[in-house]
Structure formats: structure tokens, C-alpha cells
Structure 1
Amino acid sequence: MIYNNIEKFEDKNFAYFCKFNGNTGQERLFVSDDYNTLYKDSEGFLESEVYDLINKNEFIPACATYSLANYFNNIYEKEKYPYFYYMIPERSYKSNIERKSFKTVSLKSNYNDISISLKIKELIERIRAGELLQVVISREFYLKNIDFKRLLSSFINNDSSLYVYYYKFGDTRIIGSSPENVFTINNNIINVRPIAGTRRRGSDEYDDKILENELLNNEKEKLEHRMLLDLARNDLGRICEPGTVNVDYSMKIEKFLTVQHMVSSVTGKTNASLRDIFASVFPAGTVSGAPKKRAMELINKYEDNIRKEYAGAIGIISKDYTDMALVIRTIFSHDNVVTARAGAGIVKDSIPEDEVNEMFSKAMTVMGDYYEESVDNR
């Protein structure tokens, strides 16, 4: 298994990317001495710089930060941050991998956060006033004493997410277990899998089923999901050939380590450029809201600090196949400061306390015993 050998490349930059289909997956590891960082003033980087590299390399590992949204939407930025990281691999490795099993963890559901609750209440009032339909608000958590190797092994063997990744660009580390893609393209067929609607996992099979049925019958959760499914269809409709956008399935329940979600899948046929695809689908509606631009403006207003890589896209890019995971359920390390982040979708019928619990449940999927209740996690 390739992931066991990552420690050998600690003095390099690397990108580990694994996509699962059930219990089997394909893992890739890319290694390089150098990496590239692109900012807003890197004019045309998606059209020329990355495209030129794609034609010369089998795969380019890359990460689009949430700040890339400003490249297309011209929203005021609180601080300058890279839009895009990528690496030209000097060495690459590929292997198949099998998950032996995964766990179910039932979490407590009585978290409290007065500050974020007040923000949610204000956002609900804005939604009820007709300012927008939905917005995803997030908060940051500070962590302690991360063992990245153990964390990666846990994501691979104990979770059931679609993606597991571990990227190191200089002093930045991004390690996560994401259930959702931003987009996947295979020979001009593009797919997005919006996820919206969450319940914790039950303490046993019976409790788990009760929570699943509660989710499927919750009108607020279904409303939120339908809005984001429609947004995904509209996003693809702008870049796909007419008549090719289809919903493969809708509101299917998928179960993960600590939470269960409603998931849909939308596909279409496209010949659009990488730039136009990002411009249409980025950021994902499931981490921004609807309408997207107003939601992003309010995210910028209500969140205390910029999202950096959170809610961005991470994966591999090639000429015929591109797979970009949504950067959620992820831990970040910047100059040895380690954080996680999680969000909740707010609609007119949201209950602030429930949204806070959802936020913590999502975060605990990756934080586990690394979460430190301290003054930094208020």
C-alpha cells in the first residue's frame, strides 16, 4: 500500500490521492522537490499554464483554494491568499487498495456555540427577508498533536468516504476524507454529487435507521437538498451540451463514520475548458449557498477568517480525466498551526442549535481525539 511509504518523502513535496468505489480504491502518490503557487494576478493561469502542463504530464496534482471564487466573482478579499497550488511530478506511484472495514461512531449531540448561533439567527432573518435562499456558514477548530500518518491510516481503513488525500506543499499540509466531489470529468462526461442533509450515526443499527428515516422525512432537509440539486443542474447546464444533463439519482442515503447524508448525482456531456468548468461550478453550492454570489458575500461578512483551502477543490488533472474532491472533512496545517473547519447550510426554517450540532458532528468526523476544548475553540 502506497500510503505506508509517504514518510520517506517528508523532505519533499507530495500529493497522495485515493478514490474509492465501495471498499476498493486506486491510490496515487506524486512526489516533487518543487511546487507552484498562483495568485489572482496570475492572469490566464487556468487557460495556459496548467493546460500546457497537462499536455506534457499524465497527471498534475492540484488544489484550488476557496479564494479562487474571487477570480470569477470579484468579491472583496479580506487578505491575499493563493488561488491555486499545483505540482509537476518528478516521480509517481499507483496501486490498488482495499478497505478491510470501517467503523460507525455515535457522537454526542449537545454542542453549544453562542457566537455562531447568533450569526445563524441573523442569517435566517436575511433569508426570510428574501435576500437569498440558502447560505453555508462555517467555523474553525484548533487541534493539537496531530499524527498525520495515523490520521491517514484511520481515514483509509475506518471511514467510508469517496476520497482520501494528503497533500504537502511546502509548510502547508492538507489531509482529509471527503464524501463529495466538486466535479469529475471522464472523456467529456462531467459528474457532480451534491450532498445536503445530515444526521449523526446511531448508537446501533436500530437507532441508525430511525435517524435515517428522520432525515428522509424532514422537510427542511429535503428543501435544502432540492435547492442544491437544482443549483448543480444549473451549473452543469451552462457548460454541457443541450439535453445531456441528467439526474442519475436523488436523495440517496450514504453513511459515513459519524454522519449520514442525502446524496444526489448529476451528469452531462461537455467540451468546456478547465477554466470555464471552474467558473461554472466553483465553489460548490453545498459549501456556499444560493444564489451563489450573495451567499459568498455573506460568508465573507460573517466568517471571522478566510477559508483558505477549506471548501476548495483538491485532486488530479489530466487531458482526458480530472477528479476534484471537495475539501471538507479535512485537517489543515499552516506553519505548524493545525485546524479543521466545518459548515452548515442555513435556510429559512433552520434551527440554530441543530445547525451548530451538525457543524460539530461533521468536524468530529476528522478531528476525533485531536479536538482540544480550550480558549481557542470557543
Structure 2
Amino acid sequence: MIEKISDKLRQLRQRVGEYPTKNLNITLEPLSLLAFLKAQKEITPAIFWQDKAHQRRVVCLGAIDDINHIPEINDEARYYGGLAFQQQGKQWQNFPAVRFIRPALEFSEENSVLTLICHFDGNTSIETTLLLLATLRPSAPLNNISTQITSRNDSPNQQHWAELVDLAIEYKALLPKVVLSRQTELICETQLDYCDLLAQWHEANPNSFLFSFKFAKDNVFIGCSPERLFERSDNKLQTEALAGTVNRGRNEREDNILLQSLLTDKKIDRENYLVQEFIIANLKRLKAQVSCEEPHVLQLHNVQHLCVPIHAQLPPETSDAELLYRLHPTPAVGGSPKLPALQFINDNEPYLRGWYAGAVGHLSANHSDFSVAIRSALLTEKRIKLFAGAGIVTGSIAEQEWQELDNKIHTILDIITLKGEQ
């Protein structure tokens, strides 16, 4: 594979010179992209992306552009990255408020066809790409994770959580909904491989986005998120209100009872409606034509969510930057009204969310796709920080919401300790 790519690059050099202005696309034999990414431990940036419908799976290696703003694109460029939920602390030093990269090498699999896109912009030399190519290693096998958790620390702890829930409910006149969250830090006996973890996470929850962003060698942000922020194809947009959560049942009958409760519970309906209202209002401010589908239930391994798909026809001049700043963060991860909810979170949560509950994805001139970075984790050697949130509205009970947080991280806890295999 390396020799074939190198030959194509040398041929390109003979045709256009050392600094091409257009990308080079090369069709390759299929390979497991996660297994391939696992072997490239020394390369940063390194990004993995898989969309919710499994139509596209991507590995990005290296970068020809690394920026701290949302790019405006009118050519063949594609950028990958995201926006943070809030200001960053020390643990988020490689994940600023906004960061996007244009990869040097983009391995893209669509409809079982693997294409390598070598990105060029007139400033990157073929020699630089050849040097990066020479560092690539053959795929490494994906393995089941098996380790022991030696310590766990929840921030906030359960007592503090109960106090925050009570405080949020006291503010119900100003805050009909606020989403509170928790960081669960685990120390493991052995180092976790994030590609192994992603593969098993996706196996448990296949109807989710799958992503990893590694900007430096010492940490990586990963996720298996069920929530779409938006997908734009030219001027057509689809998004969703994903809010309201119940457990999966112990058997089919209990599962169906819980599913029906999602569709009929007034508290859940109110929580979801606040998200719908926010999304529709902000799309209409962009002069979009908006329509909603009927609610349905999205079932995951341990929980199920109420989901309302939303479609919009956008004016031609609408930019991805406008969409991101209008729609992120939605009340599904922040609250309603937006600014008071975000202020409450900033003032009261005992840790900084960083890219958790942020927006991650990719954008190009014709197509952009972003997920809300929930069901996510930050890995550093033997340490993993898991994140989960719960919407607090009138009628919320702190103990039940705490259990919801546990349910949302249960899948990844099972993977780490192999409990799901027993």
C-alpha cells in the first residue's frame, strides 16, 4: 500500500511540481480503519470518525492546517474538529474553544470503497507527505479490553449532586431546565487502548456516532454518541431533539413498558419540547423552512431516549459557523433558557466540561456532519474520565437522576471490566 501511494505522489510531482494546489485521491484495498489507526501511535493529529448511519468511516493523520476558528470553505478542502462546551481547564489543554484541522492523509471508506485523500493547498510539499507516509505502520489487531479499576472518583459526589439538583429546582422560575453533569475518573491497572475501546463500544451501541480526537500523544478524547447536532447536505439540514431518558428493561415486556413511558410521560415530553423549541426558533432566525417528524424511541444498550427528527431547508447563504453557533449547545446538554442555564453550570459544576457535550465532526463546502459529544471519555494512559449528564426539570428526583448518570456510563464500565462477557 505504501509503495503504491508513494508512486502516485511521485507521478503527481512530475505533473504539477512540489507544491500541488489540488488533492490527490487514490483508491486502496479495504482494511479495518480502527485496526490501522491503532498501529499509528506516534502520529498526531490522529482522528477517527464514523457517522451515525455507517455511511462513512474515516481516519485522518497529520495536518496541513490547524486552526482555532470555524473555516469557511469554497473548494475541495474538508476539516475535522469541534467546539468546546465551555472554558477549558488543564486536562483540556489540547482542546481549545474551537479547533479544526485539515488532514494531511485522509483514509475515507464509503460504500465499502476505501480512498486515500492526500490533501494539498499549495503550501504543503509532496516531500512532506512522503515523509509522513514513511512513518505509517501495518494494522494492529483489535483486542478485548480486560483490566481492573483500582479507584473511582465522582465529581460531584452523590451528596453534592443532590444539593445541585435541589438548587436547580429552586431556580425553576428562571430555569425551566438545566442539564447537570458528572465526571467519573477511573484509574485502571493497565493502560487502555482507545481503538480497542472504541471497537467494543460501537459493538454495544451500533446506532451511534463513533469518534476519537488525538491532538497530542498524552491524551485522546473519544465518544460513542447517539446525538446528532446537525447534518447539512448543500442547503438541506437534518437535526433532532434528543432528550428524555429511561432504562432498558430486564425483559421484552418491561422494555416495552419503559418505551411507552417515554412517549407518554409529561416530564419527559416537557424536557424534549424545550429542545425542539430551541432548535426550531434558531433555525427560523436563519430564515430556514422547518418541519418535524413524529417522536420515536432510540434504543441503546442500557438506556433509551425520546427522539424527534427535525428537517430544514436553509437559505443558500447560510454558513456552518452560523449553524454551529446557533444550535450549540442545545437545551439537551445545556438547558433553557440557554444563557441562564450555561451560567448556572459555570457557577456550580465542580469540574470543567471542555469538549464533553461540545460539537464534534467535519465540514466541507457541500456536506457537514456534527455530533453532540455525549457518551464520551478523556483517556490518559491508565486514567479514563467518563462524562454523563441529566436534564433537571420540575419533578426531577436527585437519586433517580444519579442513577441515570450511572446507566449512561454502564456500557463503557462493562467493557473496561469485561462484565458484559460474564
* TM-score, normalising length: structure 2: 0.73
Q: Is the Cα contact below 8 Å between 2:62 and 2:103 reproduced in 1? A: yes
SS at match of 1:212: helix
Does 1:25 find its partner at 2:72?
A: no
- 1:108 match: none
User: Over residues 289-325 of structure 1, what are the superposed CA-to-partner deviations in whole Å (9 max), with x where a residue is unaligned?
Assistant: 1100000000111101111010101111101111011
Q: Distance in 2 between matches of 1:313 and 1:369?
A: 25
Classify 1:331/1:34 alpha carbon distance in 2 versus 1 (closer, same or farther; 3 Å). farther
Gaps of 5+ in 1: 39-44, 71-78, 99-111, 372-378
Contact (CA 8 Å) 1:143, 1:370: kept in 2 or not? no
**Corresponding residue for 1:309?**
355
The CA distance in 1 between the partners of 2:368 and 2:294, in whole Å, is 23
The equivalent residue for 1:251 is: 295
CA deviation after TM superposition for structure 1 residue 334, in Å: 5.3
- TM-aligned CA deviation for residue 363 of structure 1: 2.2
Query: Residue by residue, what CA displacement relative to the aligned partner does 1:200-233 show, whole Å, maximum 9, x if unpaired?
Result: 1112212211211222221111111112111111
Three-state SS of the structure 2 residue aligned to 1:95 is: strand
Q: Provide the residue aligned with 1:260 in structure 2.
A: 304
Corresponding residue SS for 1:285: coil
Q: CA deviation at 1:365?
A: 3.2
**Distance apart, 1:115 and its partner CA:** 1.4
Which of 88, 103, 111 is the matching residue for 2:102? 88
Residue identity opposite 2:80 in structure 1: P
In structure 2, what is the equivalent of residue 117 of structure 1? 162
Decide whether aligned partners of structure 1 residues 286 and 335 sit closer, same or farther in structure 2, where only a CA change above 3 A counts: same
**Are 1:160 and 1:255, in contact at CA under 8 Å, matched by a contact in 2?**
no
- The residue identity in structure 2 corresponding to 1:233 is I
Moved more, 112-121 or 135-144: 112-121
Alpha-carbon distance in 2 for matches of 1:19, 1:368: 24
| Worse overlay, 210-219 or 328-337 | 328-337
SS at match of 1:20: coil
Aligned partners of 1:287, 1:188: CA distance in 2, in Å?
A: 26
Q: CA RMSD in A?
A: 2.3
Counterpart of 2:46, as a letter, is: F
Q: Which protein is bigger by CA-based radius of gyration?
A: 2
Name the CA shift for 1:321/1:148 in 2 (closer, same or farther; >3 Å): same
Q: Distance in 1 between matches of 2:354 and 2:176?
A: 25
Amino acid paired to 1:190 = L
Q: CA deviation at 1:366?
A: 3.1
Write the distance in 2 (CA, Å) between the matches of 1:164 and 1:205. Answer: 27
CA deviation string 1:60-93 (max 9, x = no partner): 111211137x9xxxxxxxx997111222211111
Whole-angstrom CA distance in 2 between matches of 1:367 and 1:25? 28
Structure 2 counterpart of 1:293: 339
Spell out the pairing of 1:218-233 with structure 2 (5 A cutoff): 218-233=265-280
Q: Secondary structure at the match of 1:88?
A: strand
For 1:217, the equivalent position in structure 2 comes to: 264
Distance 1:321 1:138 in 2: 31
For structure 2, list consecutive stretches of 5 or more residues without a partner in the other structure.
Answer: 1-31, 113-156, 418-422
Q: Is the 8 A contact 2:64 2:104 kept in 1?
A: no
Question: Corresponding residue for 2:48?
Answer: 16
5 Å matches for 1:1-378?
A: 1-12=32-43, 13-21=45-53, 24-32=54-62, 36=66, 38=68, 45-46=69-70, 50-51=71-72, 54-67=73-86, 82-96=96-110, 113-127=158-172, 130-145=173-188, 146-170=192-216, 171-241=218-288, 244-247=289-292, 249-270=293-314, 271-333=317-379, 337-370=383-416
Q: Give the corresponding residue for 1:375.
A: none
- Per-residue displacement from partner, 1:31-78 (whole Å, max 9, x unpaired)? 10577363xxxxxx33xxx22xx345442111211137x9xxxxxxxx
Contact 2:46-2:215 within 8 A present in 1 as well: yes
Contact 2:202 / 2:208 at 8 angstroms: preserved in 1?
A: no
- When structure 1 is superposed on structure 2, of 117-126 and 210-219 the one drifting more is 210-219
Of the structure 1 ranges 362-371 and 286-295, higher mean CA displacement relative to structure 2 is found in: 362-371
Percentage identity across aligned positions?
A: 24
